[in-house]
Each structure stands twice: as structure tokens, then as C-alpha cells.
Amino acid sequence: MKDKVVIITGGNSGIGKALAFEFGSKGSKVVITGRNLEALQETENELKAKGIEVLALQADVTSKEDNQRMAEETLKRFGKIDILINNAGMSMRAYFEDVDVKVIEQLMNINFFGAIYATKSCLPYIIQQKGSVIGISSIAGFRGLPARVGYSASKFALQGFLESLRTEMIDKGVHVMTVCPYYTTSNIRFRSFTKDGSMQNDSPRNEKDMMSAEECAAHIYKATIKRKKFLILTLMGKLTVWLNKLFPGWVDGLVLNFIKKEGRPK
């Protein structure tokens, strides 16, 4: 990955920030985007302090114009785009019967259309480099989760897009990978939407028992080098995917009981 130009959307926190350090520490030139200017500048300074060459761009993944500007600014600074990591994302915690539909629309705009817009803007240049398009999905993209209906729907959509794109890109030599972390320490649960679109500001799970964002990023880096098609993380994540294929009705009950331990969303 030395001297590769890597764009990471949502690169100012969580898995995205960890990816910026992981790729940057291996010699990649990193472009990070995010809406929060303060967090973006803080991450930029931390990366520069480690000797990592970085371009930080305030951008909203739901904006076609911002995504086009992201690609243009990257080309202006580095002259190429090798890898795009569609990492920006949000979650939710509310049952469908309670949730305002606008929350699901927001999730689709961020988690799905954000990846569509970013990929559309960068793909011509990634094709030139025979590079990579990577999407950070979730186990929830294989197995629908109660109280995460909009999140799961967006991740199912993302995985369908990536599978189609991967097939289209075979003859062009472009690597397309779907990454499905299990529960990972990040700010995604604290910033989850509630039923009315407000922020949850708390996590219903024990964050200490989860894989760290740094460990997750290390797995993604290795899988990128190997040009894997799928990366499903943790034994529990793999079991969930395969058991759901074999025994979907049984897994329905298991998943419901697992989520019920969080308590009913407010």
C-alpha cells in the first residue's frame, strides 16, 4: 500500500479514523472526509503528527456535489485515486411500528446513497489504477435486526450494490470488497438515531467486550492487500451469517432474544 492514494469517507472517527492510521502507517497517502470540521481537523493533526501524508476535506456523503469535489480535490493533490473505502454510516435504534419514516430515509441517504455517490465520483480513476472499492457493511447486511430495520435495509442495499459492481468490474481488474464487522467499538451506537431522528447519545451494549476499531482496521488492511471479495469478522459474525442461511426460522428467535436484552428503545 505504499504511495497508494486511499479515500476514506467518515474518516474522522471510529473505524474510519482507525483505517486512516492503518493505511497511513503503511505508507499510503490518505484522504479523509467528514461533516464535523472540528473532529476532522483533530484527526488530520494526529495523522500528520505520525508523519502520515493526509488531505482532510469537510464533506457530506449525501451530497453529490461534495462527493465530486472530494474526487477532484484528491486528484488535484495526489494525481490519482487507488482505493475508495465507503465507511461513512449511521445506525438507529427503534422498532418499525414506532419510527418516523424520515429516519429510515436519512439512513438510506447516508449508508447507501452516500456510497453510490462516492463510488460514482471516484470509479473512473480507480479503473485507471485497477484499484479497489470497499464498502463497510455489517452483519446486519446479511441478517435483519430488530430495532435496526432502517440500518439493516441500508446495509442489504449496500451489499447488493457492491455485489453487482464487483461482477461488472471483473473484466476491468477492479477489486470490490464487502466488509462486515460484528460489534466494534466506535461511536456508531452513541450517535444512533432514535424513533424521532434525535441522537441516542448512549450505547445499549457493553463496549468493552467488542473488537476495537484498530483491530478491525488491521483486518481490513490485510484483506485489501489480498483483494478479498468478502471480509466477515469474528467467529460470532460468521456463525450468524451461516446459521441464518441454514436455519432462518430458528435464528429469528435467537436474534430477537439477543436484541431484547438491550431493553425496548425509547
Active-site amino acid positions = 151
The CA-CA-CA angle for residues 43, 84, 245, to 5°, reads 110
Nearest C-alpha neighbor of 197 from the set 112, 123, 90: 90
Rounded CA-CA distance 243/261 in Å is 21
